[in-house]
Each structure stands twice: as structure tokens, then as C-alpha cells.
Structure 1
Amino acid sequence: MPDPRLFPGLPALIQGGMGVGVSGWRLARAVAATGQLGVVSGTALDVTLARRLQRGDPGGHLRRALACFPVPEVAERVLSRYFVPGGTGDGVPYRPVPRLGLRGNRARDELAVVANFAEVFLAKEGHDGPVGVNYLEKIQLATPAAVYGALLAGVDYVLVGAGIPAEIPRLLDDLAEHRPARISVAVAGEGGGHTVGLDPVALLGRRLTPLVRPRLLAIVSSHVLAAYLARSPATRPDGFVIETPVAGGHSAPPRGRMTLDAAGEPVYGPRDAPDLAKVAALGLPFWLAGGYGTPGGLERAWAAGAAGVQVGSAFALCRESGLDPRLRHRLRERAAAGTLQVRNDPLASPTGFPFKVAEVPGTLSDPDVYDSRPRLCDLGYLRTPYERADGSLGYRCPAEPVDVYVRKGRPAEEAEGRRCLCNGLLAAIGLGQHRADGYAEPALLTLGQDAGFLDGLPEEHSAADVVAHILLQAHV
């Protein structure tokens, strides 16, 4: 196996940036304190910050972070909009946040920048270990403001998956220098030309000193995409995370025409297995994810030439995880008993990508719960911009009411079986919306399909337990 010292300064273990708030600052800080790479999920941090402030910011952690924001008046505007001393009462609906869109919105950008700053700031507090942030390339409309907030807090790594992050290297270069930065936005039914961006000086009202540009890791599932990104300095990341189809959350669809097995899950074949020798030949460090969260998995990764592994599910079920503790215990008990079913659902996600759904009664995996939920799309992180017949732009999501989706030019069958990931994942971390009519959003749970990571871990394990189990057993 390769000697891990061949990768000086690089972590052997990356903690996955999972879900909405599952990989929160507490988890990332606990992992980073061990010297490995702790990662916060950058998805929907604007709404999670706003809702936690409305709950009164227990412990005062968010207010402590915002007090260190480099432009105090920006953080103060966010606090004045959302902070509720003592918290709102039980069942009170959360105040909405501005939805993503191509049209500029100062309040939306301020909230995103401040929220990402706060999450990374808290993750980096009290230690000198490395901290990263994970973004979905699919959510292009959020990326510039979110990334800038993380850079202001000194994030060490940016990880981007669920798409082709070819424009992220330039985005990091520009934002580290506080230059105006833009990325392309895919618009359905249109030939291109739409972008979304951020002008840091215009937003903050001043030019700050240059920032340290973080390393970029592209999360991909094929050696072909890795080679495409590595071909040019303009698109080349600093490394890769290579995910297999068993990893939690979204998966790349099988190559070619999708076929389903008897259980209705996508069938992956030899064409979907990345050629790790070709990845290694690119000369960039890489980590393996999806079924590698064990000491043996790390040994296999080293043998393939990888710098290490990315681990998700073991951390999702640890004490520092952002999952609602009651749901975490239910997942842990079922996984330990061997009764937990995690389905790679080809329909659940509005993105059209397969999505791992943990089947737990009372959550959105339960057909009765799904059928009783009123369809709506009020958060909109996974909406797709599209061009209307008159040339104007609209937004649609297959998880919204079917008749609305059809009026926006798409067939009803595309909406069949779609889950509202935005609301469901927020409910999974205890921040689900309560509607004015009393309806409470149910949780949606995701986990990797390989439960072998629990072997050898204590029943109520910590993040440090996971790190020690994998690294010490692998003789790092």
C-alpha cells in the first residue's frame, strides 16, 4: 500500500458534508480537532441560520460568530430581521427567507454570506485543524454568495459535487481577491448566457484585505469527468473525491439508459465503476467515498493510490451529528439490528438524480405520510429556471403541485413520486416548518447503503470514536 506520508499535509479522512445541517459546525469542529478534515454542509445555510435565530439562538453561538463578521452592520441587519429573544413559541411558523433567483437581492446575499461565515467560523473555533465546506453544483443560484461567506471565515477546503464544477476554480480565485465573480446558470429551454454573481465590495461597502484561497475538491463518480476537469488550469481542482453509488444522498445515474431492478432501484454495471488507475494518473490527490468508512476501506483506498477516504454515514449517526436526536437513535437502532432499509430511489429527488431514502415509519419514506403531505415548493433550492414562451424567466420544481408544474410546460408524470427534499431535510434536523393551519413538515432521512461502518464502534459513538476506529485500526 502507499505510505500515507507521501501525501504530506493532506488528511487521510474527510468527513462528508451531508444533507442540510447534518454536517453542522459541531460535527465538523469535532473532526477537525482530531487533525482530519471536518466539513460543514453549505446547503441552505441561509434558512438554517434564520430559523435558529428565530428559535432564540440557544447558547448564543450564532450571535458570537456574527459578532466577528468583518462588516458589523451587515451582520446586524441579519440579526434584526430574524433574531427572536427567547425564541418563538412551539408551532409558530418560521419567517420566510428570500428565495433564490437570477434577479439580484441584497437581503438574500447578505443572509447567505453571513450564514456561511457563521457556520465555518464556529467549525474552526478552538483548534487548528482543517475545515471544509460542501456545496451542490446543482444549486448554482446560491453558490457565489455562499462561497464568499465561507472564504471570509477562512475555510480551508471547498468541496463541490452534484454537477460539473468547471467554473469553481475561477470563482474561488476572484472571491479570494474580493473581485466581482460570476458563474453560469443552466436555464431550461434556452441557449445559455445567464449568470449569477456577487460583487463583494458593493455588498460589504468596502474592500477587505485579500483572503487565502482554499483548496478545491471536486466530488465526481467517474474517471471521465475527473479527466475533463483536470485537462485545463482553468477547470482543474486541487483533488477529487470519487463516490460510488452506495454513498448517501444523491448519486449519479447509471451510464446509458437507466434500468431498474425488481425493487425499483437503478442498476449499475461495470461502466459505472471508476477506473482508479486513470484517476491516479492525473497526478492529483483523491479520496474514495461510498462503502469505504472502515479500517479495511482505508487500506483498500491506499492500495488504489488514494490519499484516503471520505466517510459519511458513521458521522451522520454520531453524537455531534445535526440530525434530530430522536431520529438519529431510530436510524442507529435499525442499522445495528440489520433492519434498516436504504433505498436508492430514482424518483424522490426533484433533481432527477437517484437519492438514498432511509425507510423509517413516520417520515416521508412512508407512503401514507407522503400521500397526506400537501404538495408545495416554498423554499425552492432545487427549482429549475426555465424560459417561458414569451421569453421571460420562470422557476419550476417537480415536487410542487402537479397542476402548477404542468402549467409551466412539463408533463405530469415527471412529478410522480417526487419528495420535497428542502422541507424534509430541514425537518430531519429539527427545523421543519409549522404551517399556519397546524401542519408540521415530516422529516426525510438519507444514509449510505452500506451499514458495515457500525462494526467496532460504541453504541453511542462520537466523531472522535469514528476517526480513531478507522485510523488506528488502519495503523496510521
Structure 2
Amino acid sequence: MSTDDSGTPRIIQGGMGVAISSWPLARAVSRTGQLGVVSGTALEIVCARRLQQGDPGGHVRRALERFPLPGAAERILRTFYVPAGKAPAAGYRPVPRFTLNPANALRELTVAANFVEVFLAKENHDGLIGINYLRKIELPIPFACYGAMLAGVDHVLMGAGNPADLPLILSRLARHEPVSLPVRVQGATSADGDFAVHFDPRDLAIEDRPELRRPRFDAIVASVDLATGLAGDPATRPDGFVVEGYTAGGHNAPPRGPRRLDELGQPRYDDRDVVEPREMAGIGLPFWMAGSYGTPAGLARAVAGGAAGVQVGTAFALCRESGMDDDYKYRLLEQAARGQVDVRTDGRDSPTGFPFKVAQLAGTLSDEQVYADRQRVCDLGVLRSAYRKPDGTIGYRCPSEPTAVYERHGGRLANTVGRRCLCNALLATAGFAQQRPGGYREPAIVTTGVDYTAVRDLLARVPAGERTYTAQDVVTYLLGD
């Protein structure tokens, strides 16, 4: 049961975090015949930091040699590559932050970074590779998609918002045509007109522009209503859906009912937030179920309800090939083996306003003291939002930035309470923690789903002396092989 009758993969490996679903994990999954997915979040920063770590194995440089924009590899290496790796106490060189009109160097780096990740994931095999983006992180999307397509990405997946614009954008990018992605500007009115980020691939002086294959587009949704609306319009109709339940890791859709909290301060979900596979089957497009479906029984239940298969995150996030820093990975695995993992849904942690799953680990931002001790700084800006200034120009702000700065940017102080800097923290989780003056190191934040059944089952099969399992082990377990 590795694929359905059309050859569609039964298993999609989740596109998790920042560099947790990195190219080695996606490549390992793809080589099993399933859909390996790289995370497309903040790849421009990930690529730059890998180069500043000395590019162990030479993988980034090898991929950049194949990037079809003349001179780009040299410019990127000249800016970021540190042959012996930066000193442990030294900070990473900053990457420019996105705006509605990003600098040419940032556009080029973003296209190249997404090319690199997909190229490495697809290198020397014929399996399928996808890339996962968040609609909420909108400013890099056109450039990121184009870079992934230059490397031959097979699927693009997108959640954390309404991805209605993506089918047309992917079709136009495949023809190297100009695209525009609408951007929400807080405080803007109809009198201000529409705002968008624009990208014309022809502005990149690529010689012998290759013919691109349009990737399949899979919309990540949490409700039948959104899926039905997207499928009902040819302009927004995706090629498939991933249906993410609220037990999945990372960002979750808010509850559909009234805002209620449990005794731990977590948003309360109920039956209105549960999508059964049979409800999706009538739409007529392939779909995969996610969120507590990552077991053989979950896969069987999804397929019996009409699904093509399942998307699995947590089990892959803790496997050997994932990009999670070993310290956090092994601590979570040890907790899982004892049945003591504590994962909470916090409605305040993420600057996006979406509920966010956080594993409770000492020394990370799940610890209130670690959060309190951190000096607020916004130097990456991946989750910034555009807003209209009183003079009509556009500014950018984030509820996790210093409170005085946020208020100066027109934000309400109440919006800053409890907000974590996910940009810095998620990079730290993948081993790219920024080093600050005075020896301070940015703390991590670890997100996983709440269901550890598969992790415990897989750990029970690990040979003596091994601390974790492989991506192949996850696939074998799920398929019952």
C-alpha cells in the first residue's frame, strides 16, 4: 500500500518548522517512494547561516554551482561563506529583511536558497519532493516558489492562511511570467488601493531560461468549508488538499466556535474543528489527513474514508535525518519513551495570532523564566506584518519586537503579552542559534504534535545502542511492511 492506484504517495512527510524538514530528511523519505517535503520557511536565512558555519560537506556550494543565474553563486559566497566556519562566540551576519519591495540581493538569495534546498533533496534519485510554505509569511513567496521550481520541485504545499492565489502564481511562474501576490496591510482602507509584492522572473538575467514544469499544488486546510470554496473556482482550485487537525504540530487554525480556554490556558477545540475523511471525499480531489493520523491504524482509517493517505510530522521530526538539534531531539525521545511528553497549545506564543503547539522543555522558550530573561529584539523579521502609517506609507511591525518599538509602530501593548520570537527560536531549534554580545545565545522553541504513539512504537523497535530511528523506519512502520 505504498501508493494508491494512480501512483499517488500514501505518505506525505510534513514540512516542519525552520529547517527541521531539511533536505536530508526529505531526500530520505522520497527515496522510499513517498513524498519528502522540505520546509520553505526562512530558507534565505538558513542558507546564509549554513555557509557561515563553513558549509560542512560542501552541499550548499555544490548546489549553487548548478544555480542558473550567472554570478549569483559568487555574490552569495562572497557575502556569507566562512571557509572554516564562524567562531563559536561570533554572531551570524544578518540577512536583509523583506518589504513590499525587497532589495535585489535578497530576491536573488531567496531564489537561490530555495533552489539549493530542492536541488539537494532531489539529487541523484527520481523520487518526489515537495516544499512547504506559510501563506502568513507572504513577502518571500513569489521568489521562493520560483527558486524551488528552477530545481524541479514536484509539489508546493501551503497553509497558515488562505492560499487561493497560489495556483495562478505557479502557472505563471512556470512560464517565467510576472506575478503579483496580494499583501494585507493592517490599517489600510479601500482608498489606499491594493497592495502586493511583485516579481518578474525576467528581471533575473538567467541565460537559456529553462522550460519549467508546473508543480502540483496542495492546499493545507483545516475545514471542509475552505476546501470546498477553493475547489469550486477554477482560478483557486488546487491539485489536492492536506487536512490538518488541531492536534498537529506547529501553527493550528483557531477554534471555529467561541473563544474558550481550558485550565492550562489552551484554546478549547470541539467537534466543529474535526474533519472526517468522508466529508472531504465528496470534493473530488486527492487529500491527505494530518494530525493524529500518523500510525498504521490512522493511515487505514484515512484511506477507508476516501483519502489518498496521510501527512505525518512528529515521527519524522524526531528521526535521525531530521534537522532538529540533537539535544532537543534526544530529550524529547527520552520523554516519549517514559510517556512524559508535555505539548501545549498556546494562543499567544506566535506573533501570527495562530495557536501554536509548544513542547515543554527546560531551557527553551517554553520556560517562562527563559522567556522573561530574553531581551526582546526583532532582527530577522520573518513574521513581521505590513501596516499603514499615518502619512500613508507602509511600515512593518511584529508583536514580538521590543514593546516600545511596537507601540511606536502603532501597535497595541496588549498584543505583545506572551509573544515569543519564533524567528530566532525556531532557527535555534535547528542548530542556527544567534550568538549575542556578552555570551547570550538565543533560546530555542520546539513544536511537535500531541500524539506520540508512533514515536513510542518506533522506539520499541530501535536496536540496542541506538537513540532514534530512521525515516525509512517511519515509512516501513506506517505501511505495515
State the TM-score, normalized to the length of structure 1: 0.97
Q: Alignment partner of 2:185: what SS?
A: coil
What's 2:185 paired with?
187
Q: CA deviation at 1:410?
A: 2.2
2:22 pairs with 1:24 = yes
Partner residue of 2:281?
Answer: 280
Q: Give 1:430's aligned amino acid.
A: G
2:165 matches 1:167: yes
Structure 1 window deviating more from structure 2 (223-232 vs 331-340): it is 331-340
Tell me, in whole angstroms, the C-alpha distance in 1 between the residues paired with 2:276 and 2:305.
10
The SS at the match of 2:204 is helix
1:215-364 equivalences under 5 Å are 215-364=216-365
Unpaired runs of 5+ residues, structure 1, are: none
What per-residue deviation string (whole Å, max 9, x for no partner) do you get for residues 400-432 of structure 1?
Answer: 111211222222111100000000000011101
**2-structure distance, mates of 1:82, 1:286:** 40
Q: CA deviation at 1:200?
A: 1.0
- C-alpha distance in 2 between matches for 1:12 and 1:195: 36
How far did 1:73 drift? 1.1
Distance in 1 separating the partners of 2:365 and 2:67: 37
Q: After the TM superposition, which parts of structure 1 deviate over 6 Å for at least 4 consecutive aligned residues?
A: none
Residues in 1 aligned to 2:332 and 2:473: alpha-carbon distance in whole angstroms: 18
Amino acid at match of 1:39: V
**How much does 1:4 deviate?**
7.9
Question: How big is the alpha-carbon RMSD for the aligned residues of Structure 1 and Structure 2?
Answer: 1.3
* Residues 451/181 of structure 1: CA separation in 2 closer, same or farther (3 Å cut): same
Taking a change above 3 Å as real, the CA distance of residues 350 and 5 of structure 1, as seen in their structure-2 partners, is closer
The whole-number CA distance in structure 1 between the counterparts of 2:80 and 2:2 is 46
Q: Which moved more, 1:403-412 or 1:139-148?
A: 403-412
Aligned partners of 1:223 and 1:275 also within 8 Å: no
Aligned residue number for residue 59 of structure 1: 57
Question: Are the counterparts in 2 of residues 29 and 124 from structure 1 also a CA contact under 8 Å?
Answer: yes
Provide the C-alpha distance between the structure 2 equivalents of 1:339 and 1:235, rounded to a whole number of angstroms: 43
Match of 1:102 in 2: 100
Secondary structure of the 1:72 match is: coil
User: Which whole-Å deviations, capped at 9, do the CAs of 1:435-460 have from their partners, x for residues lacking one?
Assistant: 13321101110010111112431341
CA deviation profile, 1:328-347 (whole Å, cap 9, x unmatched) = 10011112211110000111
For 1:69 and 1:422, locate their aligned partners in 2 and report how far apart those are by CA, in whole Å.
27
Shift of 1:162: 0.3
Read off the aligned partner of 2:27 and give its amino acid letter.
R
Structure 1 residue 198 displacement after superposition: 1.4
Instruction: Give the drift of 1:204.
Output: 2.9
Q: Which letter does structure 1 place at the counterpart of 2:409?
A: K
Larger CA deviation: 67-76 vs 119-128? 67-76
Residue 471 (structure 1) aligns with: 479
- The offset of 1:207, in angstroms, is 5.8
Q: Which residue in the other structure is 1:123 paired with?
A: 121
CA distance in 1 between counterparts of 2:198 and 2:207 reads 17
SS in 2 for 1:144: helix
Letter paired with 1:320: E
Once the two structures are superposed, residues 101-157 of structure 1 have per-residue CA deviations (whole angstroms, 9 ceiling, x without a partner) of: 112310000000000000000000121110000000001101000000000000000
- Distance in 2, matches of 1:398 and 1:454, equals 34
Deviation at 1:66, TM superposition (A): 0.6
Shift of 1:275: 4.7
Question: Match of 1:406?
Answer: 407
| Secondary structure at 1:344 match in 2 | strand
Render the CA deviation track for 1:19-77: whole Å, top value 9, x for unaligned.
Answer: 00000000000000001000000000000000110111011011111111112312221
C-alpha distance in 2 between matches for 1:204 and 1:289? 41
> What is the CA–CA distance in structure 2 between the aligned matches of 1:51 and 1:84, rounded to whole Å?
10
User: Are 1:178 and 1:207, in contact at CA under 8 Å, matched by a contact in 2?
Assistant: no
- Larger displacement relative to structure 2 (369-378 or 65-74): 65-74
Aligned-partner Cα distance in 2 for 1:358–1:104: 34
Q: Distance in 2 between matches of 1:275 and 1:311?
A: 17
C-alpha contact (below 8 Å) 2:129/2:155 kept by paired residues: yes
Residue 206 of structure 1, CA deviation:
4.3
The yes-or-no answer on 1:93 pairing with 2:91 is yes
1:43 maps to a residue whose letter is: T
TM-score, normalised by the number of residues in structure 2 = 0.96
For 2:3 and 2:414, the matched residues in 1 are separated by: 53
Equivalent residue number for residue 8 of structure 1: 6
Whole-Å Cα distance in 1 between the matches of residues 94 and 55 of structure 2? 17
Q: Tell me which amino acid in the other structure corresponds to 1:472.
A: G
Mapped partners of 2:32, 2:284: distance in 1 = 27
Identity of aligned residues (%): 56
The CA distance in 2 between the partners of 1:74 and 1:203, in whole Å, is 10
- In the alignment, is residue 78 of structure 1 matched against residue 72 of structure 2? no
